[in-house]
Structure 1
Amino acid sequence: MALKLTAESFLTGVRQSGLVPTNRLDAALADCTRSGVDMHDAPAIAEALIQRSALTSWQAEKLLQGKFKGFVLGRYRLQNLLGRGEMSSVYLAEHVRMKRRCAIKVLPAARVKDTSYLGRFYREAEAVATLDHPNIVRAYDVDDEVEAGTEIHFLVMEYVDGVSLEKLLEEKREFPIIEAVDYVRQAAEGLAHAHENGLIHRDIKPGNLLVDRKGVVKLLDLGLARFFKSEEEESLTIKHDEKVLGTADYLAPEQAVDSHAVDERADIYSLGCTLYFALAGHPPFTDGTLVQRLLAHQTKAPTPISKLRPDVPEGVARILAKMMQKRKEDRFQSARDVADALGRWLTAHGGRAWRLKHPELLARFAEMQRAQAARASTPPAEMPMQQPPTRTASRRPEGVPKASPTRRPQRAPAAAPAPARRPRRTVPASERATPTGRQRAAAQTVRKTKPAPGTLSLFRLDSEQWLMLVLLLAGALMVAGVGYTLRAAALPEESAVQEPAPLLENDADFDLGTE
């Protein structure tokens, strides 16, 4: 039977515990007196202090039992007991100065005498403290305290106001498909962050996935799970000569051989077993002893999830099966791949309500699709871009318009200056009256030779002036001589304008390809 404390002893213990600052305690006790609380009854005083938020129910219970010490660890004040295992306890605490709530996990007292154990714990705690992700329970601090000659080493973590996935399923009996898939997707996001920073969990299971009141999943005990295990638990626990760490119902086949040699794909298998649990309501293998269940993970295929729960969509069943492949080479190769696969399925099948809650995922997948489309449309780097074909000597000279009524004339290049005009020589009519053999050869040359850019316009201008001169002189000639002269003048003009038909056809094809 517990010793009943007097009111005086109780109040003395409250002051010694350091739980309530002196000025606050005095104000609360004065209010109790004014309110008519029996100040000679310790339980009545304790209840009044709870109502005024000076003490928590757990603190008051311990104080009434005569336990006045151990409420303060370092800079943290213990407020409640969140959970107790075979070898460790977890407390809700508050930073003395910052008033930030946190969770404190105390290392097993029987293990702290092992210096190598403590060394490993502090090294891994420092590594975990560098992680910052919404789906990982953050580690804030590690510290130690000596209480009544006993060393107390503890880990300070983010406090999650919620329950484990295991407890949540017990309350709900069954998860809707969308809810179960999203819980595991969030866990995969947290795992991806841890893996990208070089940390492997090695003990993924429903009990280590905490779900807060808003439905956010947070991974617990990342990298530190083995420091809080007892030998009596149904978890294989690391010791000096042991190689296996993890929980039998969720252990990857290769992890049962040597947990220190595994990589992130072992966590993916365990997460697949957790998804199986969330959908089926139990682990993949439930029959037999611990060793028999371990062998089943290595040699047997679990009952297909569609047989246990026919409403599981085929897409989810395929993702689950790939996560739980026996050979690690056949699984998803990264937790990021798992998160993306589940996220894409939820984007397509999660419904409008789910999509409205996760706009950041929709934006990320849209960006991934745009990047993929851009990569698909970009030509290989070793293949140069095709250049427009250059004009060759066999093509129409630049500056000559196509023989098409709808074709807009091309301008001569601005960088090419027009050639200087040669002085026009007055040719006597006698020399023009009858074309000589040399003149006929020159006219033939005009038809075959390709003029330089800008030459044709000059030639046309000279021909027109020359034609006008001929017409003026024609008035002084005889009618027969005028007709003969005009016929001779028309010959070179036709030679300059007409081009061979094959050349026009080729140029038409060329312009269609380059305009």
Structure 2
Amino acid sequence: MAAVSVEKFVDLLKRSKLIEHLDQLAKELAEIKVERGGRLPDDPGELAEALIDRGVITRWQADKLLEGRHKGFFLGKYRLQGHIGSGGMSAVYLAAHVLMHRQAAIKVLPRNRVEDSSYLARFYQEAEAAARLDDRNIVRIYDVDNDGDIHYIVMEYVDGPDLQRLVKRDGPLDYETAANYIAQAAIGLDHAHQAGLVHRDVKPANLLVDPKGVVKILDMGLARLVDKDGDEKASLTVAHDENVLGTADYLAPEQALDSHSVDERADIYSLGCTLYFLLTGHPPFPEGTLPQRLMMHQTKAPARIEIDRPDIPQDLSLICERMMAKSPDARPQSAATVASQLIDWLSARGQSFNDGSGSSPRIGSGSSGNLTGGSGLGRGGSRTKTSPSRRPKRSRTAGRRPVSMEDTVADAENTQAGSPHPADRKAKGRDRLPVAKPLPVPGEPDTPDVPEIDVELVDDGGPRSRPPSLAEKRKARRRQSQPPVWLWLTVLGAAAALLGLVVVLTQVM
């Protein structure tokens, strides 16, 4: 039941200034009368529907008017058209410039957050971070401003879902589509990294897909800024004593311990967890409490992708595993390397890389196709030849139904992901990219689900001239059974980081 009458609804619409000229409103109402036998509907809801059908107002605007409101439809030079969604730090609205009529998304900081210096500073840091960037695979920022105590950022509007909503709606993606999306994201991240930014919150909910299939990275609110001299600029992580920032399901092991000192390889880890999600439909560690899942980041390998997708090409699985290596040195060392690997993988399967532009991929000078982070796919730095291109297969996402406006906002769920071990498996099928057997990676577990424990071996500095005594054997067994000092320090550091994260999450919630 509407809170207003038809007459009151028309009065509120006039006072709202949503329609620039009142004679235009009078014309629309006259035409509705003619269509309905010479009178307006008796129900204000029916009148609102008629105006929505004619494109005079939006449904969100109509709902507000039916609630008896006529204010709050404008912010600066923008007319608000709808509420896209809300997260922990802000609300996002669809808007249009009153003169240029260009649509944009406006992120608004809630009034109750304005007094919190950490949130306000991070809000403006997002604008500063994004202002450094101009890339088709990153959501562009148009403006940042405030209207009294209302602070807002005007950004590019992407009419499509984020990858988390896409997978939740349609299930895991086909292999080629997943590789294409992650390659695009890697190209965007490479642009950000070269500009001195580490995103620190890469996840499916922060990757939007527009109607042309272009992936765009969203939300620089947690980005780490580095100036031209390589020094971190006024880190909010340090200034507000926040040791852990990011989303737990996609958090690199080193980021869980100290978020303000991570480099671009933390983003590569998070992007690998995102690829894992696209292929399986769930993060690497979907079970357990938040502290348990954070600890899994440090000690446990996730379930193999083959459990959910038995037919996954071994070389694609290996790319994902290398991206999620627990040691930063074991991952590809640049986002450009990741993009090159995935584009090469697509080419080897007869698939062309499609970023929606029809042009060649834009990969930085550090690009490489090496699965181990070096300069080539095989050992010795030699690149593996790819098979000739064949006709691209039709993507499973083609022809899907239009996505509603609510699908465009990143989900704010905080969960945790882990990192796998490198696996030596035989590639099957003639189409797959040949992959050299990966070298053992220090610090990586040899078997799934079993954390690696260092064993301190007994060595007296030279060959033994006699068999060890019983006392020596007992001493050696005691030393082998005791966890090494570095493991205790790692556990203590992880526990401290967990406590910091719980405090931060409590403040956010």
The normalised TM-score by structure 1 is 0.64
CA distance in 1, matches of 2:241, 2:362: 49
Q: Whose helix proportion is higher, 1 or 2?
A: 1
Q: Distance in 2 between matches of 1:338 and 1:122?
A: 30
Distance 1:181 1:63 in 2: 45
Residues 224, 15 of structure 1: CA spacing in aligned structure 2 closer, same or farther, 3 A cutoff? farther
Match of 1:130 in 2: 132
Contact 2:163 2:208 (8 Å CA) reproduced: yes
Report the secondary structure of 2:312's partner residue.
coil
> Take 1:279 and 1:14, find their aligned partners in 2: how far apart are those partners?
48
Q: Tell me whether 1:174 sits opposite 2:158 in the alignment.
A: no
| Change over 3 Å in CA distance of 1:123–1:173 after alignment to 2 | closer
What is the SS of the residue equivalent to 1:110? helix
Shift of 1:171: 1.9
**1:55 is matched by which residue type in structure 2?**
I
Contact map agreement 1:178 1:350 (CA 8 A) in 2:
no
| 1: CA distance, partners of 2:174 / 2:157 | 27
In the TM superposition, 1:427-466 aligns within 5 A as: none
Deviations 1:136-172 (A, max 9, x none): 11111112124xxxx2111111111111111111222
Corresponding position of 1:257: 257
Q: Assess, with a 3 A threshold, how the Cα gap between structure 1 residues 124 and 220 changes in structure 2: closer, same or farther.
A: closer
Q: Name 1:20's counterpart in structure 2.
A: 19
Quote the Cα distance in structure 1 between the aligned partners of 2:28 and 2:80: 20
Contact between 2:19 and 2:25, CA under 8 Å: does it hold in 1? Answer: yes
Deviation for aligned residue 1:31: 2.2
Query: Does the 8 Å CA contact 2:184/2:355 hold for their aligned counterparts?
Result: no
Q: Note if contact 1:37-1:44 (Cα within 8 Å) is conserved in structure 2.
A: no
Q: Retained in 1: the 8 A contact 2:125–2:221?
A: no
Taking a change above 3 Å as real, the CA distance of residues 9 and 362 of structure 1, as seen in their structure-2 partners, is: closer
AA aligned to 1:186 is Q
Q: Distance in 1 between matches of 2:123 and 2:211?
A: 30
Deviation at 1:308, TM superposition (A): 3.2
DSSP-derived class of the 1:246 partner: coil
The aligned residue for residue 85 of structure 2 is 83
The CA deviation at 1:109 is: 2.3
RMSD: 2.8
Paired with 1:5 and 1:161, the residues of 2 have a C-alpha distance of 33
Contact 1:284–1:303 at 8 Å: present in 2 too? yes
In the alignment, which of 147, 150, 172 is matched to residue 145 of structure 1?
147
Name structure 2 gaps, 5 residues minimum. 225-236, 369-374, 376-380, 382-509
Corresponding residue for residue 202 of structure 2: 204
* Aligned amino acid, residue 288 of structure 1: G
Tell me, yes or no, if structure 1 residue 121 matches structure 2 residue 137.
no
Alignment of 1:104-503 (within 5 A): 104-115=106-117, 117-146=119-148, 151-224=149-222, 240-351=240-351, 360-361=359-360
Which string of whole-angstrom CA distances, capped at 9 and with x for unpartnered residues, describes residues 231-280 of structure 1? xxxxxx99933211111111000000111111111000000000011111
Deviates more, 1:104-113 or 1:119-128: 119-128
* CA–CA distance in structure 2, aligned partners of residues 97 and 175 of structure 1: 40
- Whichever residue aligns with residue 329 of structure 1, its letter is D
Change beyond 3 A, Cα 1:113–1:179 = same
One-letter code aligned to 2:138: I
Q: Distance in 1 between matches of 2:349 and 2:355?
A: 13
Per-residue Cα deviation, 1:258-316 (whole angstroms, up to 9, x for no partner): 11111111000000000011111111112211011111111111222234322221221
Residue identity over aligned pairs, in percent, reads 54
CA gap 1:121/1:238 in 2 versus in 1, 3 angstroms: farther
Matched with 1:387 is none
Q: Which amino acid aligns with 1:283?
A: P
Equivalent residue, structure 2, for 1:424 = none
**SS of the counterpart of 1:310?**
coil
C-alpha separation in 2, matches of 1:44 and 1:282 = 43
SS in 2 for 1:247: coil
Aligned residues: 353
Which letter maps to 2:14? R
Distance 1:364 1:296 in 2: 33
After superposition, what is the alpha-carbon deviation per residue over 1:401-449, rounded to whole angstroms, capped at 9, x for unaligned?
A: xxxxxxxxxxxxxxxxxxxxxxxxxxxxxxxxxxxxxxxxxxxxxxxxx
Alignment partner of 1:361: what SS? coil
Task: Tell me which amino acid in the other structure corresponds to 1:13.
Answer: L
Per-residue CA distance 1:165-197 (angstroms, 9 max, x = gap): 111112222211101111111111111111111
TM-score by length of 2: 0.64
| Residue aligned with 2:360, SS | helix
Shift of 1:349: 1.2
Distance 1:80 1:224 in 2: 26
Paired residue secondary structure (2:283) = coil
Distance change in 2, residues 1:136/1:358 (3 Å): closer
The corresponding residue for 1:103 is 105
Question: CA 1:217 to 1:364, structure 2 compared with 1: closer, same or farther past 3 Å?
Answer: closer
Measured at CA, do residues 7 and 363 of structure 1 come closer, stay the same or move farther in structure 2, by a change above 3 Å?
closer
**In the alignment, which residue of structure 2 is the partner of 1:10?**
9
Distance 1:358 1:301 in 2: 37
Distance 1:15 1:206, change over 3 A: same
Return 5+ residue gaps in structure 1 as ranges: 227-236, 377-515
The Cα of 1:209 is off from its aligned counterpart by 0.9
Instruction: Find the residue that maps to 2:82 and give its secondary structure.
Output: strand
Equivalent residues of 1:190, 1:219 under 8 A apart: yes
Shift of the alpha carbon at 1:336? 0.9
Q: Deviation at 1:344?
A: 1.1
SS at match of 1:103: strand
CA spacing shift, 1:238–1:41, aligned 2, 3 Å: farther
Structure 2 counterpart of 1:75, one-letter code: K
**Which has the higher Rg, Structure 1 or Structure 2?**
1
CA contact (8 A) 1:121 1:224 kept: no
Say if 1:192 and 1:334, in contact at 8 Å, map to a contact too.
Answer: yes
Residues 313-348 of structure 1: CA deviation (Å, up to 9, x unaligned): 122122112111111111111111111111111122
* Aligned CA distance change for structure 1 residues 34 and 61 (closer, same or farther; 3 Å): same
For residue 72 of structure 2, what is the aligned residue in structure 1?
Answer: 70
